[in-house]
Structure 1
Amino acid sequence: MASLHFQTQRGSEIEAVFDDLAALRIAVFRDYPYLYEGTINYEKEYLKTYAQSERSFLFAVYHEQTMVGATTCIPLRDETADIRQPFEGSDFEIDTIFYLGESILLPAFRGLGLGHRFFDEREAHARRFGTYKTTCFCAVERPENHPAKPVDYRPNDVFWIKRGYKKEPALRSTLEWPDLGEVVSTPKPMVYWMRALQP
């Protein structure tokens, strides 16, 4: 941990690290269960959503000059239509929900407590505004017998439950991206997890 340093950016400031963040997202999301065949150009286009939101937040971890971990959050209202979709027309008040984006870390830097730090930083950021009651995120669901699933794969469910999050199977959306080795995007089911934002 002594060799690591941290950096935060908000709103349009995030654009300054688009290249680093895009490269990190591609590197981490190649692994199961995302199996993401990403491109820098696609990533930078997606990340514009965060740069355009005044209340978005990035917490990044660096080893020397290299970004080795990052996490983001943004008001649900400012997210893309695909992410907002399960909440629109429901009993949820979108303007009281803060959406937690990626939580990514290169393998060599895992097991240092940074996963908890990521949640702490994002939840603290959401609390600063005094108007948000709930935080949420979504995660991809793959079939149990997926051929690319590693034998020793352990989902993050236990960690998320310890953080106070509850899986909400009724809240689902569909996102599209190309799996590894593919050039065509295919739909992926995403399920949401939520918790009340503690004061």
Structure 2
Amino acid sequence: MLEYVVHTGDDIAPVLPDVARLRIEVFREWPWLYDGEQAQEEKALAGYCACDSSIVVTARADGNVVGAATGLRMDHADKGYSEAFALTELPQDQTFYLAESVLLPEHRGQGAGHAFFALRERHALALGLRWAVFCSVIRPDDHPLKPEGARSLDRFWLGRGYRPLLGVSAEFRWKDIDDRARSPKPMQFWIRDLGAG
């Protein structure tokens, strides 16, 4: 059985190397296909330490960190997300951005996905925020690296009350595992009204 630990404030920094490690391992999978490096990941995650709205949730098995999920208020998020989200009429200071949610394959199917969302949503509500959003990477159905039998998470997200924010997307550049250079990737925003219950 997985144990979940919520980290905020000064408790965040010690677990960021684990979050970075998990990002590199899990995001190599479909649909991210991300080729990351530990030092680069830790640098990118460092901003969570300087933000009072940040949360990191870790999932542990036998004391080892096997999964993690993060989040922070949208106006504290990476500019690539916050600037794209600014195209909506929703206030960023009332919106919580759910960032990475990563779990090693052997620990899936035990409810971690729901726990990661629920704990971050509870944190957002404790901050007095109204909306929760996240981004999913968009890949073509005929992508050559799409594994046979790959399943979309859309049903899971819809079941948790999220819906695509039509016409609102971000774009990020990273190097795929089969590429030599970074290329742009479109990201679809999803949103939930936390005030709707």
TM-score of the aligned structures, taking structure 2 as reference length: 0.95
Q: Is the contact made by 2:88 and 2:168 (CA closer than 8 Å) also made in structure 1?
A: no
How far is the alpha carbon of 1:72 from its aligned partner? Answer: 0.9
2:8 paired residue number: 10
Q: Which runs of 5+ in 2 are unaligned?
A: none
**Does the CA-based 8 Å contact 1:88-1:94 persist in structure 2?**
yes
- How far did residue 12 of structure 1 move? 4.0
Deviation, 1:124, is 0.3
Shift of 1:89: 4.7
Q: Give the alignment partner of residue 43 of structure 2, picking from 42, 45, 63.
A: 45
> 1:86 corresponds to which residue?
84
* Distance (Å, rounded) in 2 between the aligned partners of 1:78 and 1:11: 15
Q: Which amino acid aligns with 1:156?
A: L
Q: Percent identity?
A: 37
CA distance in 1, matches of 2:88, 2:191: 15
For the aligned residue pairs, the C-alpha RMSD in angstroms reads 1.3
Q: Distance in 1 between matches of 2:156 and 2:14?
A: 31
Structure 1: gaps (5+ residues): none
Give the equivalent residue in structure 2 for 1:165: 162
1:57 corresponding residue in structure 2:
55
**Equivalent-residue separation in structure 2 for 1:27 and 1:65 (angstroms):** 19
Deviation at 1:14, TM superposition (A): 1.4
Residue 87 of structure 2 contacts residue 168 of structure 2 at CA under 8 Å; is this kept in 1? no
Matches within 5 A, 1:24-173: 24-130=22-128, 132-173=129-170
Aligned length: 196
Detail structure 1 runs of 4+ shifted over 4 Å in the superposition: none
